[in-house]
Amino acid sequence: MTSIPGSDNLIWSDEQTRFFLQLRLDENLKGNVRKQMVNEAGRQAIMDKFYEAFGIKIPWRKFGIKYNTCKKQYDSFKKLTRNRTGLGFTSTGFINMSDDWWNERCKEWPGARKFKDKPIANMDLMEKVFGTVYISGGEGWSAQQGEEALDTKHGDDEDEDDAESRRDVPTQEAVGDESRRGVPTQETDVASESRNAGSKNVGPSSSRSKVNRKRSRVVQAGQAVADVIRESVESRDKILSHKNHLIENHPEFSCSQLRAMEVLHSLPAIRMWSPLYKASINHLKEDAANRQTFLFYGDNENRVLYLEYAKLSGGFLTASILSMS
């Protein structure tokens, strides 16, 4: 990693960028990222792990600059692929399309040329960091989903509550329309009561009482909405607390192991429950360093080669032999 001449920015390798994005996903799972902001504990963890992996100590501000750069790259990539069907991608997220397709895209948007000449690496991880949340809190939540899913659920609840409160309080335009159609409203009711005070023997105090009752109902509806929001916040805090407790007391549920198993299952070259598959499971469960090394490789071919290499070395060979017997 070197500095760009004449600027305060650093030149990151694809490997370093991928490691940083994965660390950010890990901290998000631990609840250390809120509204795209990493708290102090998450920042320190990312800086320490990055230093352990690469021997480079850089301030958090540099990580923030890199995060913004990746976000801009992701937004440009989505501009190119949005509403496109039949797209082909490589295992790391590169667009795999014909020259004719690229020529059409470059005519529509000249900026597409840079994606053809120099594809952006680590787009698969950028999709997880910057993309949408596929499972909202309303559909279910687990520790693997992280905090963003809970944010989605909480946001949906607030939108519904706001809509409910808007239904309870009539707008000025709605009052005018109802008055023109002859539909009784708060204002027309008061006026009608005043005009017919003599015939119905209803005085001004009765009209004010009716208005006050309607206002009271609106206030009660607003209080009900506030109660729902407060209960949602309390429930969300309990879920987060339980999630953190699970992660602290069950390290086998860590993102590293779960992610490693997901990637292992996605490798087409390794048949499920084959000797290599069983030995790979033992190898990945054995040590966090094994999982990190496995995840470091950005493409399926190198990941399979790593597992085959590990199979031929040390205790992993024994595990493979036992699984075949």
CA atoms 45, 46, 47, 50: torsion sign: positive
What predicted TM-score, i.e. pTM, was given to this entire model?
A: 0.39
DSSP code per residue over 44-106: HHHHHHHHHHHS----HHHHHHHHHHHHHHHHHHHHHHTT--S--B-TTS-B---HHHHHHHH
- Residue 257: count other Cβ atoms within 10 Å of its Cβ: 16
**Greater model confidence, 198 or 167:** 198
- Summarised one tens digit per residue, pLDDT across range 179-207 is 444 444 444 444 444 455 444 444 556 67
Phi, psi of 179 (to 5 degrees): -65, -40
CA distances from 323 to 268, 277, 311 (A): 20, 9, 12
Which of 46-55, 78-87, 149-158, 216-225 shows the lowest mean pLDDT across its residues?
149-158
CA distances from 245 to 34, 238, 249, 296 (A): 18, 11, 6, 28
3-class state of residue 124 by DSSP: helix
Average of pLDDT values for 39-55? 95
pLDDT value of position 133: 44
In the predicted structure, residue 172 carries a pLDDT above the cut 70: no
Domain ranges of the chain: 2-88+120-131, 143-250, 254-324
- Summarised one tens digit per residue, pLDDT across range 54-113 is 999 999 999 999 999 999 988 888 877 776 666 666 665 567 677 777 788 778 777 776
Across the chain, what does the average pLDDT equal?
71
